[in-house]
Structure 1
Amino acid sequence: MVSVLAEEADIDVVGEAGDGEQAVRQAGDLLPDVVLMDVRMPRTSGIDACTGIKNAVPSAKIVMLTISDEEDDLFDALKAGATGYLLKTISVDELPDAVRAVSGGQSFINPSMATKLITEFTTLARQGGGRAEQAAAPRLTDREMEVLRLVARGLSNREIAKQLVISDNTVKNHVRNILEKLQLHSRMEAAIYAIRQNVIQME
């Protein structure tokens, strides 16, 4: 992974750590923009290290890169402040794009895990009071509604751009406008909003 990332002109690998405790210490010293970390690590778990890193470097974006497809690990990682959750089954060639996406403010979650996350939020929303009332989010344009639906389904900016036949930058601008209009802070919050407001229909 280090060699793959080091070959990218816009990515600098500033450090490596052998366990969670060392990761927290190095993050505090190196102030990285993005941290790639496993859920399961010696001495201090990846979840605890994630919390420690966010406390030490709040601006750091943390991506869990792991073999664990357990829902509890995903939820714990997000609660601890992780911005991304990737399974090690992804192609190494996809890693630089994931780092760039997270660095640019996107949440980046492996599609199969994103589906589990959305399903869980849908279940919680229904348990919390049944189906939400229909809300068409009138403050959003038709195009922004299209983008919101695709964001809620876990698509990346690139995938949304391809599906709507628009540029990546246009998608990025739409996402930013959606978050500002709805007073949300992340794509994940936008996905939850879309589910609760029946902007998308889940099986």
Structure 2
Amino acid sequence: MIGRMKPLWSTDAPTDSAVEAVDVEPTREPIRLLIVDDQELFRRGLAMVLAGEPDLLLTGEASDGETAVEMVIRSAPDVVLLDVRMPKMSGIDTCVAIKTAAPSTRIIMLTASDDEADLYDAVKGGASGYMLKDASIDEVAHAVRLVADGQSLISPAMATKLLDEFKQMSRPERSSVIAPRLTERELDVLRLVARGCNNREIGSELFISENTVKNHVRNILEKLQLHSRMQAVMYAVRERLLDLP
């Protein structure tokens, strides 16, 4: 014999003992994500895996910077995963263009480049995160969520590299070294490096070739006995070799 089914609701007023407070958590909109990378296999593989994350919504893929900027304007993603080294328009230039067109869009550079100069340029260009491509899927998804929440992130490997840079620059024996004399042209180049300019931009500003810029940078590093552009900028600021705006 089938028992009598209990009604799903009742028109009778509930007693006080039957009333319970229920906290209903508001449903959060998924994070809209755009992936930009010229390597199709990597881009599509990453898109397929991240599409399985319930709180991420893939709005599209782009293989170059120009297309990426157009897609940002059209689809308004919350976060863009962007490679540094790309044809037509570099990742850094794309980052600047995206931030100009859509300032609220957050950008994570996801790249194979562990060059601290690329990290420096990316941060100057408006990126909120910098991760290497050897990161796990969980790490990438976590980074997207952090950046979407307004936080910034640098991959552990790059953070360690930056700390090593600062440690080297803060060695006591460094401060006792008399700063070698840089030429006016070398100081001009160093000022532009400190502003985040790449070799092409420096050459355009100073009306010299990119090769000449590279020679000046190499001479600066040799004179200061340093190994990277970032170290040169940090050293120059500390020793007051140049005035930054």
Question: Could you say if the C-alpha distance between residues 123 and 31 of structure 1 is closer, same or farther in structure 2, counting changes exceeding 3 Å?
Answer: farther
Give 5+ residue unaligned stretches, structure 1. 131-203
Q: Which residue of 2 aligns with 1:52?
A: 97
Give the structure 2 partner of residue 151 of structure 1: none
1:82 counterpart residue number: 127
Question: In the aligned structure 1, how far is the partner of 2:74 from the partner of 2:120?
Answer: 28
| Alignment-derived partner of residue 70 in structure 2 | 25
* 8 A Cα contact 2:50 2:137, kept in partner: no
- For 2:169 and 2:70, the matched residues in 1 are separated by 36
2:156 to 90, 111, 124: 111
2:88 match: secondary structure: coil
Residues of 2 paired with 1:53 and 1:38: CA distance?
Answer: 13
| SS of alignment partner, residue 27 of structure 1 | helix
- More helix per residue: 1 or 2? 1
Aligned partner letter, 1:55: T
Structure 1 length normalisation: TM-score? 0.58
Q: Deviations over 1:103-131 (max 9, x none)?
A: 111211111211233444567789xxx7x
Alpha carbons of structure 1 residues 51 and 4: separation in structure 2 relative to 1, 3 Å: same
Offset of residue 68 of structure 1: 0.3
Q: Does 1:36 align with 2:106?
A: no
Matched residue, 1:97? 142
Could you tell me the percent identity over the aligned residues?
56
User: In structure 1, what is the Cα distance between the partners aligned to 2:77 and 2:112?
Assistant: 23
CA distance in 1, matches of 2:110, 2:135: 9
Q: Aligned-pair distance for 1:94?
A: 2.1
What secondary structure is seen at the aligned counterpart in 1 of 2:48?
A: helix
**Which of the two has higher C-alpha Rg?**
2
C-alpha separation in 2, matches of 1:125 and 1:26: 44
**Residues 19-72 of structure 1: CA distance to partner in whole angstroms, max 9, x if unpaired?**
011111111111111000100011100000000000011011100000000010
Q: Secondary structure at the match of 2:139?
A: helix
Whether contact under 8 Å (1:34, 1:62) holds in the other structure is yes
SS in 1 for 2:97: helix
**Structure number with higher relative contact order (C-alpha < 8 Å, ≥ 6 residues apart):** 1
Cross-structure match for 1:63: 108
Structure 1 residues 55, 122: closer, same or farther in 2, change over 3 A? farther
Q: What's the secondary structure of 2:73's corresponding residue?
A: helix
Q: CA RMSD in A?
A: 2.0
Structure 2: 5+ residue stretches without partners = 1-45, 176-245
The answer to whether the 8 Å contact 1:4/1:93 transfers is: no
Alpha-carbon distance in 1 for matches of 2:87, 2:49? 24
Q: Distance in 2 between matches of 1:63 and 1:52?
A: 14
Distance in 2, Cα, partners of 1:117 & 1:59:
27
The amino acid across from 1:105 in the alignment is G
Structure 1 pair 45–9 and aligned structure 2 pair: CA distance change class (3 A): same
Counting only pairs closer than 5 Å after superposition, residues 1-203 of structure 1 correspond to structure 2 as 1-120=46-165
Distance 1:119 1:76, change over 3 A: same
Q: 1:138-194: per-residue Cα shift (whole Å, max 9, x none)?
A: xxxxxxxxxxxxxxxxxxxxxxxxxxxxxxxxxxxxxxxxxxxxxxxxxxxxxxxxx
Distance in 1 between residues matched to 2:79 and 2:148, nearest whole Å? 6
